[in-house]
A and B are shown apart, each in its own frame.
Chain A
């Protein structure tokens, strides 16, 4: 079974750093793009960016470029989303999801990681 399992909920203070993870199983992880999607409570889905684990080719939304870092460790089938200095406005649910190829829809989703940033 193809699965994406994300790390658990986090509560952080403004200015702190954070790295959340998404581990894939049941498919050839390195050969499929993985993306990150933000959902602020009560709001819609926002596409943040995608990475190709085989060579770490990464594409960002202009809205998120410079605000987060997307990376992957193909040796452990895991993608990451990282912040160096969190803001209260980063409070959201973050989903990872895989694509079959670059020009494709997200066919499998992780369960989501809730990030709460509060002083």
Chain B
């Protein structure tokens, strides 16, 4: 099965900073890649699908890029409400594995 590896596992950044999280698939998955945000105590929320398409209602400071095996989630201008754990997920075929998560905090 294809493995999904996120890095870093956690990061701390200042308000307004540009933050990037990477996700690497062990084999190519084209652009079948989603990003989710899970705030403490809340249900996961879909941010981006098809590697770079923003889900309706998601702020434009979030963006996604990549295809094949290497993907990036970028937050352009970190806000207090962005404190959360972010997960990538591949969905080309079952099992539709998640990455291990990246915890984002404010410095």
Q: Tell me if A's interface is mostly helix, strand, loop or mixed.
A: strand
- Range, interface on chain B: 20 to 34
Q: Which of B10-18, B42-50, B72-80 contacts A (4 or more CB under 8 A)?
A: B42-50
Checking A47, A60, A63, A111 against B43 with a beta-carbon cut-off of 8 angstroms, the contacting residue is: A111
B81 at the interface (CB under 8 A from A): no
User: How many A-B residue pairs lie within 8 Å, measured between CB atoms?
Assistant: 66
Nearest-neighbour CB distance to chain B for A61, whole angstroms, equals 4
Pairwise interchain contact B101-A44, C-beta atoms closer than 8 A: yes
Pairwise interchain contact A103-B101, C-beta atoms closer than 8 A: no
Closest to A95 in B: B43
Closest to B45 in A: A109
Pairwise interchain contact A103-B93, C-beta atoms closer than 8 A: yes
User: Which residues of A approach B to under 8 Å, CB–CB?
Assistant: 35, 37, 44-47, 49-50, 59-63, 95, 97, 99, 103-107, 109-112
User: Which residues of B approach A to under 8 Å, CB–CB?
Assistant: 1, 32, 34, 36, 38, 43-46, 49, 55, 85, 87, 89, 91-101
